[in-house]
Amino acid sequence: MFKVYISKAKSRPLDIKNNAASAYAEIEKARTVGANLVVFPQGFLTGVQLGILGDALYLRKAYNDTFSRLSAENPDMYILADLCQQVDGKTVFVNALYHEGKVSDGNSFEIDGYRFASFNKTADIDERKLSRADFSQTDCVIVNESAPVYAGSRILTRKFMKTTSQWLGVTVICALGGYGYTSHPDIYMPATGCFSDKKDYFTTTFTEYINGENLFDIEKGHYGDVFITRLPSLQFDIAFNQNPLVPRQLDEKEYCLDLFSLQSLSLATRMMNIGCKTAVVALSGGLDSALALLVTANAFDMIGLDRSGIRVISMPGFGTSATTKGLAGDLAASLGLDMKMIDITESCHQALLDIGHDGKTPDVTFENVQARMRTLNGLNLANAVGGIMVGTGDLSEVALGFSTYGGDHLASYGVNSTVSKTVIRTMLPHVIQLENMAPAAKAITDILNIPVSPELVPHGGEILQKTEEILAPYKLIDFFIYCFIVAKMSPIEMAQRASCVFEGEFSPSYLKEKAQMLCRRFITGQFKRSSAPEGARLTHVHLSGYDRSVPSDSGMGLFNYFLGE
């Protein structure tokens, strides 16, 4: 019997010295449990993301020398890791087998009569590249990939690995890296798995990963006769689907909980990597801040931090209603958190007077000063308690630029930036079914039943401004976001598709107007996205990176052309 040990040690970005110490400790653990081979996920010593340092020769040398040294110091252990190389100006990680300080091919090797094949890219396991005959003498396939994950992708990975094992007739072991890896621009969800005719195991949550198995037995022999499918990808449907931002081939609840788990892990990873144990959440009583608070509480639970480190603040201003103020307090209390009330009306009034505003006219300056004052207080409090301010803005707002520059568009780290308003509405009923989130069920249900509002103008005590009346229903906005960003449709194509999907709910002229509005706001809001806080890309629809941006001073001539104007 051959034993394979999968390292589950935490790896901090670029911290080669401490990561090497963790690797040494993992080798000792592997030896203690009688393992013959210890496997480190791809890019373990650097946490994969190298940024501007990716082409630094000294970094590659340090990476490769470190694994060679670890191998020389542990000559009785085989180590499957990787070499850090530069190909076409890009840093890549290539599988390598280390033994007695020497390095050899890590894609195909033999140890004590057991034959292994390994891949550091799941995409390489595909019917176009592999045939069963290629593995007639192979006893085990190891996938030690560290790849960015989107919500739902791990679910498909599990299914694919199981099918691969059945088709090839060999044991398939997964060592998917990510524990402690970077939290921007992507998130890496750690997971271990083992599939054979006798075992069907795969971790699906961070808690399972930490507490689950990482020592697997390999037997000789082959089995199975199932045809392998191609590597699956998330599939979306805008033909007759009013919520295309949720993939159609996955169970809705499973997808939503996976997304919530990734949001929580991204925040937990950021806090672990910067050594932070305190977070500030500005709670408004609306959807976005409610989800941000749930994510924060779950992140604290995930890594064993006391929730007392979550500082919840509510900052009523000129337009805050009694309804949302009460809901904010209810939600905080349901999670066992104290909420500090900071009334910003006086400070906002003074700020307006300071610039010569009359402090009364409800214009854009009057509205924006409140958002900026809230952000100022939140960031100042985060400084005071040695924590970070959790951003609440969602994808719908990010795409439309519907936030205040220097106000709610800023934070220390954004957890909702790739989650749209309709997806948040879809997620929350599933999230409150989780055991540690269940106490918030009533407060969340009440929040789901009130209209979305910026609450920035005076009123008679209740919600006056309604965002969906100002812009458009969010189900239409998010439908257009998918059409524009993913399907790359023109405004007229977006309107035509929406007229079919929403079956006469909106007039053709209204759809054209709102499609044009989205395109216009998307372009003019680019300067806000360019200076937005960091956050992980958690869904297939994100607006992070140069390839998802546009010049913010562009004209609208292209879109007017398609509208015949």
CB 26 within 8 A of CB 67: no
pLDDT at 458 over 80: no
Tracing tokens 């809230």 back to the chain, one arrives at 374
Say how many C-beta atoms besides its own lie within 10 A of residue 298's C-beta. 22
What pLDDT shows up at residue 1? Answer: 84
Across 454-460, average pLDDT: 56
> Which percentage of the chain shows pLDDT scores above 90?
71
Across 210-217, average pLDDT: 96
Q: Where are the domains of the chain?
A: 2-217, 252-562
Instruction: Report residue 461's pLDDT band, with 50, 70 and 90 as the boundaries.
Output: low
- Residue 481: strand, helix, or coil: helix
pLDDT at 428 over 90: yes
CB 5 within 8 A of CB 41: no
pLDDT in tens, 513-548: 999 999 999 999 999 999 999 999 999 888 887 778
What pLDDT shows up at residue 53? Answer: 81
What pLDDT shows up at residue 240? Answer: 63
Q: What are phi and psi of 166, to 5 degrees?
A: -65, -40
What pLDDT shows up at residue 462? Answer: 55
pLDDT at 211 over 70: yes
Q: What are phi and psi of 344, to 5 degrees?
A: -100, 5
CA separation for the pair 208, 205 (Å, rounded): 5
pLDDT at 221 over 80: no
What pLDDT shows up at residue 220? Answer: 84
Across 131-156, average pLDDT: 87
CATH for the stretch 2-217: 3.60.110.10
Tokens representing 234?
């998330």
Give me the amino acid identity at 170: V
Say how many C-beta atoms besides its own lie within 10 A of residue 255's C-beta. 23
pLDDT in tens, 166-184: 888 899 999 999 999 999 9
pTM (2 d.p.) = 0.93
Instruction: Report residue 191's pLDDT band, with 50, 70 and 90 as the boundaries.
Output: very high
Bridge partner list, 102: 99
What pLDDT shows up at residue 452? Answer: 75
Instruction: Report residue 559's pLDDT band, with 50, 70 and 90 as the boundaries.
Output: low
DSSP strands (E only) in 434-537: none
CA distances from residue 194 to 80, 112, 197, 214 in whole angstroms, order as listed: 17, 21, 10, 9
CA separation for the pair 77, 333 (Å, rounded): 52
Residue 465 vs residue 192, higher pLDDT: 192
pLDDT in tens, 67-111: 999 999 999 999 999 998 888 777 888 999 999 999 999 999 999
pLDDT at 21 over 80: yes
Q: Mind giving me the DSSP string for 16-39?
A: HHHHHHHHHHHHHHHHHTT-SEEE
Across 438-443, average pLDDT: 98
Instruction: Report residue 423's pLDDT band, with 50, 70 and 90 as the boundaries.
Output: very high
CA separation for the pair 297, 305 (Å, rounded): 9
Which DSSP helix (H) or strand (E) runs through 243?
A: none
What pLDDT shows up at residue 223? Answer: 66
DSSP 440: G
What pLDDT shows up at residue 563? Answer: 56
Residues 6+ apart with CB under 8 A from 169: 132, 135, 222, 223, 224, 225
What pLDDT shows up at residue 202? Answer: 96
Residues 6+ apart with CB under 8 A from 269: 180, 181, 182, 183, 187
pLDDT in tens, 481-506: 999 998 999 999 999 999 999 998 99
DSSP 469: H
- Residue 476: strand, helix, or coil: helix
What pLDDT shows up at residue 62? Answer: 92
What pLDDT shows up at residue 50? Answer: 78
Instruction: Return mean pLDDT, the chain.
Output: 90
Across 116-122, average pLDDT: 90
What pLDDT shows up at residue 419? Answer: 97
CATH topology of domain 252-562: Rossmann fold (3.40.50)
pLDDT in tens, 441-454: 999 999 999 887 66
Torsion, CA 424, CA 489, CA 513, CA 558, rounded to 10: 130
What pLDDT shows up at residue 230? Answer: 65
Closest CA to 12 of 176, 143, 144, 188: 188
DSSP 483: I
What pLDDT shows up at residue 319? Answer: 78
CA separation for the pair 294, 286 (Å, rounded): 12
Instruction: Report residue 224's pLDDT band, with 50, 70 and 90 as the boundaries.
Output: low
